[in-house]
Amino acid sequence: MKILITGDSHTGALSQGLAQVRDGLPGGIDIVVKPLGGGHILPTPFFRDAGTYAQIVDPDYRRNFHRLPPHAINADMIALSAPLWPMRVMHQMVWPRHSIDAAIPGGQPISRAVFRRLVMEDQGQVLALCALLQRVGMPVLAVSPPVMFRDHATLRQMAPEHVRAMFDGYRAIMLEELAARHIPVLDVPPDCVDADGFMRPEYRHENPEDEHHANAAFGALMIRQLAALAPSLLARAH
């Protein structure tokens, strides 16, 4: 079984993790990691529905793929690292001091319904891509990026409980949307997070200034998990 992992920059840790664990993968499981590109492009119309495939039209993404599913990689399943990364919406929320569930000094709360709309705006293209892949018979899986590290920049702007309410709220909305579309999710293993729900520091990126990507150790964990669960995930994706 061949699994193509693609999506945003969180594929970096997955690729590094794959390099560490490739030799120990169960027989019959082949995993390829190749990114689309920067996640900031995901909310834009980066592909065109060409009937039997998604034609990638964004110039940056076309440097990696001209189409999905790709001709060159004969994948049995595509795992997308894209639907579960809340930071684009978090930036829209945190810097202008928007919040959900509670007002913050100097800020402007918004309703859960408005927040959901922001999430759906952010992920509309990704969900459309998932739908297209499903329609053409390509099983799709969502791979979660890491959750928040304790030193993420947004946590310096607003009390952690407000930031987390939005981060977790985003993920909850997307998990619900993915479930409604029968898209299985490879989520962050519980052991990777501390009691407060933050990523454990041992999975933090080696660059001290990068507080949102995880490292190869996290990638390796996720790849091992993917390989172990691949048959059941594929069955669920079908």
SS3 (DSSP) at 159: coil
Number of residues this chain uses to bind other proteins (CB under 8 A) = 48
Q: Shortest gap between Cβ of 237 and other proteins (angstroms)?
A: 25
List beta partners, residue 108: 98
| DSSP H helices in the chain | 11-21, 59-62, 87-94, 112-135, 160-180, 216-237
18 phi and psi angles, rounded to 5 deg: -60, -40
The dihedral built from the CA positions of residue 200, 204, 209 and 212, taken in this order, carries a sign that is: negative
* Nearer Cβ to other proteins (212/224): 212
Q: Which of 113, 137, 190, 191 is the binder for other proteins (CB under 8 A)?
A: 113
* Nearer Cβ to other proteins (37/139): 37
Q: Which of 111, 194, 197, 238 is the binder for other proteins (CB under 8 A)?
A: 111
SS3 (DSSP) at 155: helix
* Nearer Cβ to other proteins (156/182): 156
- The secondary structure of 39-103 as a DSSP string is GGGTTS--EEE-SSSEEE--HHHHTT-SEES-SSS--SEEEEE-TT-THHHHHHHHTTTEESSS-
Which amino acid is present at 215? N
- Which 50-109 positions form the footprint of other proteins (CB under 8 A)? 62-66, 87-89, 91-93, 95-96, 98, 101-103, 108-109
* Nearer Cβ to other proteins (117/182): 117
159 phi and psi angles, rounded to 5 deg: -60, 140
* Nearer Cβ to other proteins (169/184): 169
Q: Does 154 bind other proteins (CB under 8 A)?
A: yes
Q: Shortest gap between Cβ of 87 and other proteins (angstroms)?
A: 6
Residues contributing to the site for other proteins (CB under 8 A):
8-9, 11-12, 15-16, 34-35, 37-40, 62-66, 87-89, 91-93, 95-96, 98, 101-103, 108-114, 117-118, 121-122, 153-154, 205, 207, 209-210, 212-213
